[in-house]
Amino acid sequence: MSDTTYSDWTNYQTWCVAMWLGSDAGLYEESRGLAGEARGEASEADAFAAGIWTREQSERFTLAEWLRTWVVENLAPDLGASFPADLLTYALCEVNWDEIAADILSETATA
């Protein structure tokens, strides 16, 4: 089995999304704003209320899902049924959203 990590991230796709969310001013502000909202809503998650998740897990899983939805539905272009669309879909499915969420939450915890 080959190592697919890239620059200390799970894979290239995860690194690429994290790099853009961390270096583009607009994407940075929006993703960090989502982190603040995820922190505020963590206690509303059913898994947290049931004692399945810790508060930190609830924050991370909530933010990961919000980031995935935001990027896939709002940032990725609609390429129709096409070869580029299939490649983009594949790449976004390979992103480790949980890893990106954990990174953003750890960064914003001290901010």
pLDDT in tens, 72-91: 999 998 999 999 999 999 99
Helices 25-41 & 55-70, crossing angle to 10 degrees? Answer: 140
Residue 1 lies in a domain: no
Residue 4 lies in a domain: no
Residue 18 · residue 102 · CB < 8 Å: no
Confidence band for 44, pLDDT divided at 50, 70 and 90: confident
Residue 68 lies in a domain: yes
How many structural domains is the chain composed of?
1
CA nearest 103: which of 41, 59, 40? 59
pLDDT at residue number 110: 61
CA nearest 35: which of 81, 103, 82, 94? 103
Residue 28 lies in a domain: yes
Q: What percent of the chain has pLDDT over 70?
A: 97
Residue with tokens 């799970």: 10
Host domain of residue 75: 12-109
